[in-house]
Amino acid sequence: MTKPLTPAETVRSFIQCFNQNRLEDALEYLAEDVFYHNIPLEPIVGREATRAFMAEFDLGNSLRAEWEILALATDGETVLTERIDKFYRAGGPREGIPLMGSFRVQDGKITVWRDYFDLTAFQNMVVLHTPRT
């Protein structure tokens, strides 16, 4: 019998999937009714809505992610991450923004995911405006 992942292990595995360009595997860590909120933007509810949001940027296809965890802390079901989230396209520059992430993990699934970051810095990333290949 496999031992269930701790909340910290769940979040680390979730982020590792993004770093390995395994978007569908990452999304499996989310509860069906996940509450996903990039704090400067409107909240998103549901795994499918989260998938659609990421598809707008072509994340997992022409846009790749590399999320570096600088620090991680847990308190019960809550996992806090300090990260540098970098994005890039093949042959292009890696651009990153610092952010804080907060996750709630219940029964092995991420039920709440909030990222706090500077929206202007995110919007100014050239990689997000580079045409898809």
Residues marked active site are found at 85, 115
Instruction: DSSP for 2-68, please give it.
Output: PPPPPHHHHHHHHHHHHHTT-HHHHHTTEEEEEEEEETTS--EESHHHHHHHHHHTTBTTTEEEEEE
**Spatial separation of the C-alpha atoms in residues 67 and 20, rounded to whole Å:** 10
